[in-house]
Amino acid sequence: MIELEQMVIELSEAFGPSGFEGEVRQKIASWVGEYTNVTYDHFGSLIAVHSGTTMSPKVMLAAHMDEVGLMVRGILPGGELRVVTLGSWWPPSLLAQPVVIRSREGDRLGVIGAKPPHYLREEERNRQLKLDDLYIDVGARSAAEVQAMGIAPGDPVVPAVQTRPLSGQSVYMGKAFDDRLGCAVLANVLQTLGSHHPNQVVGVATVQEEVGLRGAKAVSPVIQPDICIVLEGVPADDFPGNSIVQGRMGGGPQIRRFDPTMIANQALVDLLIDTAQQSGIPYQVAVRESGGTDASAIQVHTHGGVPTTVIGIPVRYAHSHQGIADIRDVSHTAALVREFIFRLDLKTVNHLKQNPW
Ligand code: CO
């Protein structure tokens, strides 16, 4: 069994922007195939069924495989590549960052360029950078040179980043922690759960979350879960000057009561908190002013609705080239999910369904 830390490193470095999740999916399948029955829906999501001592309730765990990336839109005469985004980026965070372009003839390196500061006019300096100001520079001098490298419109792009440890033994810096940390928890739980719990657990690694929860919308009606936990790499909020910190890196799994796209089943949240307290697992509770996850789709795209919440692993600088996260938060999240599943059975889940608040 592969260690959680190694899993995080491999998942983080895997290539997988929205719509191109194959490499991530292959890794997860290779890790959970021995413990579950793995199938795929017609959109690319992975479905790993793990049976306990009964076939119901059906407990869905979901994590999305895609990372925010870019796609080559076209090649300018000078050889620069214009792009569209796969998922949401804050354009200033892209400037001067290295990227890898997956062309049909292999991976190519580039850097995000813009008009150099030395040449900016006063009014250009004072306005915010937009995607239109940016391009990928692969070191070419003409469109013909770029074409000769095998690069073409439609090629997907992700940050060119290695996952590296920071000072302190459990903290790492790397890309795509949103949501490869959730994928790591998903795979780890499926590997370590054992079959002595009275549930059927369905682990779902979804596609295309970052472009509008598309994979979750497609797969949820197929799963028809009785209850669902979404595992997410969520934006940490322990930055200077924030007076309401609910997502501290190293503060433990973050259990979500609310975001603008989802009101969690509050009884489910209470049961998770109870589980964390009794198991001695650190946790934090979030009421989010912004954001949304697969949970909002899964919650309503199942016949009759489904009790849902999100457990988040705090990630500093999510949706940028260098996120920072603490592996202890990942292992605590896996521990919490495992403990929680052992507390579930048909009676408990039916109670949550009948008494959501
Ligand atoms: Co995410």
Q: What is the pLDDT along the chain (357 residues), one digit of tens a residue?
A: 789 999 999 999 999 999 999 999 999 999 999 999 999 999 999 999 999 999 999 999 999 999 999 999 999 999 999 999 999 999 999 999 999 999 999 999 999 999 999 999 999 999 999 999 999 999 999 999 999 999 999 999 999 999 999 977 799 999 999 999 999 999 999 999 999 999 999 999 999 999 999 999 999 999 999 999 999 999 999 999 999 999 999 999 999 999 999 999 999 999 999 999 999 999 999 999 999 999 999 999 878 899 999 999 999 999 999 999 999 999 999 999 999 999 999 999 999 999 888
Write out the two tokens for 104. Answer: 């049909």
Candidates 295, 182, 310; CA nearest to 254 is 310
Do residues 287 and 247 touch, judged by C-beta distance below 8 A?
no
- C-alpha 59/C-alpha 57 separation (Å) is 6
Cα 280–Cα 232–Cα 298 angle in degrees, nearest 5 = 110
Task: Enumerate the active-site residues.
Answer: 209
CA of 286 to the centre of ligand 1 (A): 16
Do residues 190 and 183 touch, judged by C-beta distance below 8 A?
no
CA of 105 to the centre of ligand 1 (A): 30
- The CATH number of the structural domain formed by 69-159 is 2.40.30.40
Same fold, 4-67+175-354 and 69-159: no
Instruction: From the options 3.30.1330.10, 1.10.10.10, 3.40.50.10800, 3.40.630.10, give the CATH code of 4-67+175-354.
Output: 3.40.630.10
Q: Is the peptide bond before 57 cis (omega within 30 degrees of 0)?
A: yes
Spatial CB neighbours of 123, under 8 Å, sequence gap ≥ 6: none
Candidates 27, 51, 41; CA nearest to 208 is 41
105: β partners: none
CA of 295 to the centre of ligand 1 (A): 11
CA of 78 to the centre of ligand 1 (A): 35
What pLDDT, on the 0 to 100 scale, is given for residue 169?
Answer: 78
Domain boundaries, the chain: 4-67+175-354, 69-159
CA of 253 to the centre of ligand 1 (A): 15
